[in-house]
Each structure stands twice: as C-alpha cells, then as structure tokens.
Structure 1
Amino acid sequence: MAEPRDVIRDARRVVVKIGSSSITAPRGGVDLYQLQALTAVVAKRWLAGAQVLLVSSGAIAAGMTPLGLTKRPKDLATQQAAASAGQGGLVAAYTTAFQLHGLNTGQVLLTADDLHRRSHYVNASRTLEKLLELEIVPVINENDTVATDEIRFGDNDRLAALVAHLVDADALILLTDVDALYDGHPRLPGSSRIPVVTSMDQIAGVDISATGSAVGTGGMVTKVAAAQLATAEGINVLLTSAQQAAQALAGDDVGTLFTPTGRKRRARSRWLAHASNVAGRLVLDNGAVEAVVQRQTSLLPVGVTRVEGVFHTGDTVDLCDPDGRVVARGLVGYDSVDLIPLVGRRLDGATSTARSRNATPPARTVIRRDDLVVF
C-alpha cells in the first residue's frame, strides 16, 4: 500500500504557493538567498520531468525598501504603490534564479475578476497551459497594483487553490513560516503536529486564528480555507515551511497533508462552484431540493419559493434549501425582476395563460441542469 505522501512525490503537475515571509526580509526587500534556495528546489522538480507553477506573494514586501518603508503599509494606495515598485524586482529575481538552472519564467498577474468571469478564466487557463507546454515556469501573483478588495485576499492562498483548479493540478504545496498545522500553538509544550487531515471536521476544534507575518497578510485561517477549496476538487494539499520544501516535494513525512474530500469535476463545474461571483440566492421547496440534488434535474419556477438579491440572466446564484443551506449553484436564466412574478408557477399551461392576460412572460426553466453544480 502506498504511503500517503507518495501522492506528493509522484505528482506530475504541482502548484507551489510561496508566502511573503519566505522570500523577503522582515523589514521588506527580497531575500535573494531564500528565494534562490526555493527556486533550486522547484527547478530540480522541473528537471525531473514534473510541471511546477509558482504562486508567489511578496510584491508589496519587496517594494517596501524602494519606498523607504520599514512596515507593511496599511492604506490601499500605498500598498498598490509598493506592489508596483516591488513586482519588477521580484520577477527579475525569479528570472535570474531560474536561469541558473537553465529554466525560463513567465509572469502571470491575476485579479479575482479574472477568475470570476468565465471568458477570462478560460483565457487564463489557456495561457498557463501554453507556458507549461513551452516548458516555461509560470510565476503567478495577484495583481496588487490594481486590486482593491482583492489585495486582502488571504495572502494569495485562495488564489493558489483556484490556480490548482485552473490547471487541474495533482497537488498544491502551501509554504509558510510554520512547519505544519498543530493541535495547539506550536510553541506551547504538549502541542503536536497533525500529520494528515482527512476531513475538516477533524480539525474543527483547532485554534487557527493566529495572524500572519509582519510582511504578509495571511495566517493559518487562509491556508486551511485554501486546503478545503482544493481538496474539495480532488487535489492533495501539503502545508509546511519553506525550509522543508525539498522534503515536501520528495514525499517525506513533513508538514500536514490534506487529502481529497471530493472528486475532480470538469473544468466548467469547478469554475462555477468555486470561482464564479455569486450575485443572489434562490430558496427552494423540499421537492425542488430533492429534484436538483438527488435527481440532478433542471430547476423550474414551481420549485422556487423566494428570490434574494439583484441579478441578471447568466449570473451565478446559490440555491438554498428551506433552512437557507446552500445545496447547489447555477447560472440563472432570468433577471431577478422577471423571476419574482414567476415564483411557484408551473410550466404547464403558462404560455397560453400569460399570452391571454398579456401579463408576465411565459415561464421557462430557471436553471438548466447543464448549468448547475451540486454541493
């Protein structure tokens, strides 16, 4: 029987997320020694035949030195200025470091909007696939220079999970400043490393509220959330420190391994479930919940009991049971203002009734089964 971490050792396509604290100095600026050490590990895996994509934080931290800052800025404008000043130097450092191993890099800057919009999502996927085909190491970062709310998106942890979805990765490695998830504070006596997590229920009582480093924004909360996002789509996730990157990629017993909780879905379903921007909610009766979830049928107006939010045809909406629990997500076939008068109506006879009264338009399918994903 294979060891659990063999899935990391044998993964052919791996996304590695590097946190700010792993490649920058505590007071800002790129730490070239740490960056070159990490790129050497990644390059070794590339040269062994695997494909590795980097999701790298650090642009804002790298820009602190050029701007004369000693602490990470808190206001958005200065954060964006620091990102602008730091991004070039960060990518230049990666380019030089990988060239030492005969590898070239390609910079990819993304915002949440690039993943929310289906056309942008598909285009990003094509770009990354072409880079991998050409044996170029993608270096991906959130586009902090123009991001607004996204600039506080969890230190790129969520972005890394979505990139793993985007490229159908076999594994996601989250490198941070702690070596694993512990059942207590790592520095407290009696705290033990949690080697494997097979269900999020297993760590429900673990305190993960500690914040991230002085130059980063993430903490353990964002990393566990990213692990949950990736494992839901059949992707193995390993959380460990940057110092243990080589052992992690080799499949050694380090860090915390999160094993898949779901199976991989087709690309469009992954986007709909995790990357699309939810614009509203539809509350369903029990019969509609059973039809959509169990029989996986299309959603009809008769099964809708309430419309929440303002949305338009083609937007993503959550489908909820009578208690408000989200059971599915889909692309709606109505504007919210047009759907409200149709709540609870049957398709049968709707056309003739609507035409004779010259009132609401004929009722049609609210969400087609091909545009639904069930949770």
Structure 2
Amino acid sequence: MSSPQDDRGHPASSLRRTLGEGQRLVVKVGSSSLTSADGGHLDLNALRDLVDVLATRRREGRQVVLVSSGAIAAGIGPLGLDRRPADLATQQAAASVGQGALVAAYQAAFWGHGLTVGQVLLTADDVTRRTHYTNARRTLERLLELGIVPIVNENDTVATHEIRFGDNDRLAALVADLVGADGLVLLTDVDALYDGPPAHGGSRRVPLVATSADLDAVRIGGTGSAVGSGGMVTKVEAAGIAGAAGIPTMLTRLADVTAALTEGDVGTVFAPAAATRASRKRWLAHATTARGRLLLDEGAVAAVTHRRKSLLPAGITGVEGAFAAGDPVDVCEPGGAVIARGLVNYAATELPRLLGRSTRDLARELGPEYEREVIHRDDLVVL
C-alpha cells in the first residue's frame, strides 16, 4: 500500500500540491459535518468555518464550487421529526423546509466576506440527458465567470426514486467533471480512509490511493451517519468517477480542510487515472442511469469489448426494461454481467422482432431506416 514521504517529488506530495494550488476546486460537505449532534439543526459554527476557508480561496483569485448536503437534515427539526425520514415524500418535505434555511445560512456567511452565492439544484436527469448536461455546465461556468460561489445540491424536493443521485458524493464528482475542476475535496465526519473500521484498534490511515489495486486490502463499508445518505463506499466511488476525468480527490473531515488545502499530511488523496476517456464516454459511463438491459451472445461480447465495434441486432439475444430510442441502456454478457453502456437507437418495443437478424435483411424487409446499429460505437462505452 502506498505511503507518503517528505520528498516533495513523491506522488502524494505532488497531488496535495495540485489540490492546494488548483485554480478551480469542487468541495463537497456532508450532512453530518453541518448539523448538530442531534442531527436536526444546522451547526452554524461549522458552516461558517467552512465558508471562511472557501472565502479565503476566492479572495486569492481561485474559483470554488460548493456541493452541500444538509437540506433534509436541516428540515428535520422544524418538521418536528426525531430522525431522518425513510419515505421519499417526507424527505422531500424536509428538503423543502431545510433547503431555504441552508442557503440562507450560506448567503449570510459568504456575504460577510463580500461574496455572493448562487443556488443550483440538480436532479440526475440534469447530468444524464445530454441537453440538460450542457445547460447545467453553461450555468455553472457563467456563475464562476461572474465571481459567484455556486452552491449545488440535489433537488430533493422533486426528485423521484428513479432520477435521484442517491448521495451528493456522486453528484460532486460529476460536477467536478462538468466544470473541469483541478481537484475534488470530499468533507465527511471521518478524517480519512482507513484500511479497516476506524474505531477498531490497529486500523491505519491510507494516505494515498495511487491505483485501484491500493484498495484491494481495504475494508470499505458503512452507510453513513444518521442524517446522511452516503458512506465510505460512495466516497471511494466518487473518487473513481473524478479520477476517470483526470481529477485528483482529497477525502478528509471539515476540521482538517485548511491543512488539506495547504499540503498538510491529512486525509486520503486519490490519484487520477493514468489514462482518461473522452468526455462523452465519461458521461455515458458515470452520469447516465440505465433504463434497460440488452443481453448479448458471446460473439457480440467480443465485438463490443475487444474490437470496439458497434452493437448490431444480430448479436442481441434478449431485451429487458422499458426504454425509448436515445435512452441509456446496459449491455450485458450472456450471464447478465454488465460489460458496457450506450445510447440505444431503438425503443424496447421495437427491438424484439429485430434480434438475431442482419441489418441487410432488416433493411430489405422493413426499409432502409433499419440498416443501422442498435448502438453506434461512438455512443458505447465499455465498463
């Protein structure tokens, strides 16, 4: 397992320097870092501490996008609840009440530094649908150009189970890719990634994750705090999403954020991938949610994964789900394991009669518009 060294040329030191000196940073803070011990009210002192650090970066001429959880948690107390609600409708009600309180607290704290904030609420559709994706990017870019601090959160008041991110860790990683960030910082209630449960004796901090192999000996678990929806698994996954875009990630706690941004030996830093995909391929792999599944025969699996060919109807053996043309779908091997994801050119209702047949035969029988791929290779990413 990798470990830091004092040598300034060591990868850990270099990555910490990149994060500290980056011109554009995305910072995500979890609910447990911003709420009181009972989880039902905002901890305004903690919130102001975070704002002080981010405002300092803005005064230095750097840009910050803040992805903040806490809306549902902030609504728990005012609604008279004693814990985070389990049902979606009550979560949405809590978010409706709490989001206003959360943004008002940020507005007041940043205003004390002469800075203005802009609220950006996103659903998964906003980074899944390509047109929404580009609109979200334009909005964030313009806010940054105007010197505004964007505060991003999932739009919990309207998101359904089918279009939710599920946690703000994934959202933060996708936003980091969306805005071309130099680094991603995930602030949680644990100071770093450990190779075992942090509360257990003998567990050691993992200062650097250079490659996915460094995680082989790490026991990752937990479902987050009583007021949050994520856990260490979602944070490691978020670091992977950011890494695929060439973006390093720092995982630490709010109390250590100043040290983390001044190259201090705190938290865990995740190195970006050595090779990155094109942005469209990253979008397909990480920002989309599959609306169905296509099962392939062995020949089609080899064509898609090894020869990077388009997916044709002749190699498809089964169709699952209800999707429209243009929707993202998972592409699976005969046993059902997902091997790729792509944008399908046919609706689920159209495909069954096409399966196992050549595009030439289909064009001859049904018309020239059927002489096309089910998924073109430019719209297909191997996972």
User: 2: CA distance between counterparts of 1:129 and 1:63?
Assistant: 30
Amino acid at match of 1:364: R
Determine if the alignment matches structure 1 residue 17 to structure 2 residue 28.
yes
Cα-to-partner distance string for 1:105-152 (whole Å, 9 max, x where unaligned): 000111222222222222111111111111100001111222332798
Contact persistence 2:28–2:67 (CA under 8 A): yes
Amino acid at match of 1:351: A
TM superposition shift of 1:345: 2.0
TM superposition shift of 1:10: 2.6
User: 1: CA distance between counterparts of 2:164 and 2:355?
Assistant: 38
The sequence identity of aligned pairs, in percent, is: 59
Contact persistence 1:194–1:256 (CA under 8 A): yes
Amino acid at match of 1:369: R
Q: Which of 282, 300, 308 pairs up with 1:288?
A: 300
Determine if the alignment matches structure 1 residue 370 to structure 2 residue 382.
no
User: 1: CA distance between counterparts of 2:372 and 2:289?
Assistant: 24
SS at match of 1:235: coil
Determine if the alignment matches structure 1 residue 235 to structure 2 residue 247.
yes
TM superposition shift of 1:228: 2.2
Amino acid at match of 1:11: G
Q: Which of 85, 97, 118 pairs up with 1:106?
A: 118
TM superposition shift of 1:361: 7.5
Amino acid at match of 1:9: G
Report the more deviating stretch, 145-154 or 310-319: 145-154
SS at match of 1:229: helix
1:85-96 correspondence runs (5 A): 85-96=97-108
Calculate the TM-score normalised by the size of structure 2: 0.88
Amino acid at match of 2:379: D
Determine if the alignment matches structure 1 residue 245 to structure 2 residue 257.
yes
Cα-to-partner distance string for 1:15-73 (whole Å, 9 max, x where unaligned): 11101121221222221111111011111122222211111011122223322334333
Contact persistence 2:25–2:181 (CA under 8 A): yes
- Alignment-derived partner of residue 254 in structure 1: 266
TM superposition shift of 1:78: 2.9
**Structure 1 residues 317 and 42: alpha-carbon distance in aligned structure 2, compared to 1, 3 A threshold:** same
Gap runs ≥5 in structure 1: none
TM superposition shift of 1:281: 2.1
Report the more deviating stretch, 131-140 or 192-201: 192-201
1:132-151 correspondence runs (5 A): 132-149=144-161
User: 2: CA distance between counterparts of 1:83 and 1:352?
Assistant: 55
Amino acid at match of 2:251: L
User: 2: CA distance between counterparts of 1:249 and 1:299?
Assistant: 45
User: 1: CA distance between counterparts of 2:212 and 2:94?
Assistant: 36
User: 1: CA distance between counterparts of 2:266 and 2:124?
Assistant: 31
- Alignment-derived partner of residue 116 in structure 1: 128
- Alignment-derived partner of residue 59 in structure 1: 71
Contact persistence 2:123–2:165 (CA under 8 A): no
- Alignment-derived partner of residue 165 in structure 1: 177
**Structure 1 residues 109 and 210: alpha-carbon distance in aligned structure 2, compared to 1, 3 A threshold:** same
Calculate the TM-score normalised by the size of structure 1: 0.90
Contact persistence 1:154–1:222 (CA under 8 A): no
SS at match of 1:21: helix
Cα-to-partner distance string for 1:152-205 (whole Å, 9 max, x where unaligned): 854411111121122122211110011001112223222110011123343234
**Structure 1 residues 177 and 289: alpha-carbon distance in aligned structure 2, compared to 1, 3 A threshold:** same
Gap runs ≥5 in structure 2: 1-8
- Alignment-derived partner of residue 214 in structure 2: 202
User: 2: CA distance between counterparts of 1:39 and 1:72?
Assistant: 25
User: 2: CA distance between counterparts of 1:161 and 1:58?
Assistant: 18
Q: Which of 280, 286, 302 pairs up with 2:314?
A: 302
User: 2: CA distance between counterparts of 1:306 and 1:203?
Assistant: 35
- Alignment-derived partner of residue 17 in structure 2: 6
User: 1: CA distance between counterparts of 2:79 and 2:338?
Assistant: 45
- Alignment-derived partner of residue 194 in structure 2: 182
**Structure 1 residues 306 and 242: alpha-carbon distance in aligned structure 2, compared to 1, 3 A threshold:** same
User: 2: CA distance between counterparts of 1:287 and 1:33?
Assistant: 60
User: 2: CA distance between counterparts of 1:131 and 1:142?
Assistant: 18
Equivalences, count: 371
SS at match of 2:258: helix
